[in-house]
Amino acid sequence: MPGIRSAKYAAALLAATACGGCSGVQSMLDPAGPAADAIARTWWLMAIGATLVLALVMGLLWRVLSRRPDRPPFVHGTRLIILGGLVLPVTVLIALLIHGTATGRNVMALDEQVGQVVAVEGRQWFWTFDYLDDDGAARISTRDLLVLPLGETVEFQVTSADVIHSFWIPRLGGKIDAIPGRTNHIRLRADSTSPIRGQCAEFCGLEHTHMSFDVVVLPPSRFEQWLQEGGDPTAMVGPTQ
């Protein structure tokens, strides 16, 4: 049965290709924090729902196209239009609105206690991170390297020095624009020490493709020690391996 065997191989290859982007340092489907987890659940919910709707539409289309010419015409067209064109879309949209509102509040983390504030500035073409103390002064600064405390909510104050950039760490949460002359805020929490990388998600010039940064997550005590050591990148290599 070479035809069936080839079909199985093709299906396996297609499944492997489809799942190839479900993990990795920049995969939004491999969440490492509560905000990204909520976004990933919403994505899967909408993907499954869209697949079911597509299957329903294809089934109805097959039923229509496969009808014999001598069959009697459909007599329940009005009911189908009301149910499929009015009741179903309204129900789905209301459910998505309720789910999206609840998810949005979780993603914003407004009720979470902030353990660290980081001022983020996008430039052509790199990122700078200032770790602020209780008075709003920068304790240390890093470039294209973001270090976070494990399990603690961090507030990011995001701006830009030149053009519009977009601050995004896919495994931790959603993106937010970095706009010159304006400071936007986003809160994220890292619950995993696995490799994470962020990037600029807004085309900002010829070197946009290289405007990424590494994210290192340390236990809270180790993070505080790293701050006290002046943010030396070599000081955290050992404990994070």
Structural domain contains residue 63: yes
**pLDDT tens digit string along 180-208?**
999 999 999 999 999 999 999 999 999 99
**Mean pLDDT for the stretch of residues 115-144:** 93
Beta-carbon contacts of 13 under 8 Å, excluding residues fewer than 6 positions away, are none
Predicted local confidence at residue 9, as pLDDT: 55
At 239 the pLDDT is 40
Q: Is a pLDDT exceeding 70 seen at residue 166?
A: yes
Q: How far apart are CA 16 and CA 21, in angstroms?
A: 9
pTM of the model as a whole? 0.79
> Residue 82: what pLDDT?
85
Amino acid at 157: Q
State the Cα–Cα distance between residues 87 and 81, nearest whole angstrom: 9
Clarify whether residues 91 and 132 are in a common domain. no
**pLDDT grade for 163, boundaries at 50, 70 and 90:** very high
Q: What is the pLDDT of residue 223?
A: 93
- Is residue 75, in this structure, part of any structural domain at all? yes
My answer on whether 57 and 149 are in the same domain is: no
In the structure encoding, which two tokens stand for residue 225, read together? 């020690």
- The token pair that represents 43 in the structure block: 């994505």
**For range 97-107, the mean pLDDT:** 84
CATH number at residue 150: 2.60.40.420
> Comparing 180 with 45, which gets the higher pLDDT?
180
pLDDT at 151: 93
Number of domains comprising the chain: 2
Range of the domain at 49: 31-108
> Last residue of a domain, which of 108, 141, 171?
108
* Range scoring the smallest mean pLDDT among 74-83, 102-111, 131-140, 221-230: 74-83
Using an 8 Å Cβ cutoff, are 216 and 146 in contact? yes
Residues 101 and 164 in one domain: no
Same domain for 130 and 213, yes or no, is yes
The answer to whether residue 13 sits within a structural domain is: no
**Once rounded to an integer, what is the mean pLDDT over residues 70-84?**
75
pLDDT value at residue 74: 67
112-132 average pLDDT score: 93
Q: Given pLDDT bands bounded at 50, 70 and 90, which one contains residue 20? A: low
